[in-house]
Amino acid sequence: MTTVEITRFRAPAERTDALLAARPAMLGDFQADRAGFLGARLIRLEAGEWLDIVFWASPEDFAESRRRGGNRPGIQAFFALIDEVISSEEGTTTDPVGA
């Protein structure tokens, strides 16, 4: 099983291009700085809302990532474009990642 972080957030439509442009640097920082980071999917919803689904090898890896927060420039730049975090949840997969 894989640990899954699901964050729903709001960013205004006028920041969509900047958000998408900042995403690769954020993922690069996660890859370089976060043990157990397996990948992520960003899903655009209606009304300026997004789902960020991040896959972790273990709950401990996810907890350590939360502890580190926005400790790198690419992560900070992405987070700065978010107006509001609506919810954040942790779960586990029942299917392999990529299935």
**pLDDT per residue over 80-98, tens digit each?**
999 999 999 999 998 766 6
Characterise 37 by phi-psi region: left (phi > 0), alpha (psi -120 to 50), beta (else): beta
pLDDT at 64 over 70: yes
Domain count, the chain: 1
CATH of the domain at 56: 3.30.70.100
| Phi then psi dihedrals of residue 96, to 5 deg | -65, 150
For residue 94, tell me if it sits in a domain.
Answer: no
For residue 75, tell me if it sits in a domain.
Answer: yes
Rounded-to-integer distance, Cα 9 and Cα 40, Å = 15
For residue 79, tell me if it sits in a domain.
Answer: yes
What is residue 50's predicted lDDT score, i.e. its pLDDT? 98
| Average pLDDT estimate for 3-30 | 97
What domain range is 69 assigned to? 3-88
Global model pTM greater than 0.85: yes
Tens-place pLDDT, residues 35-49: 999 999 999 999 999
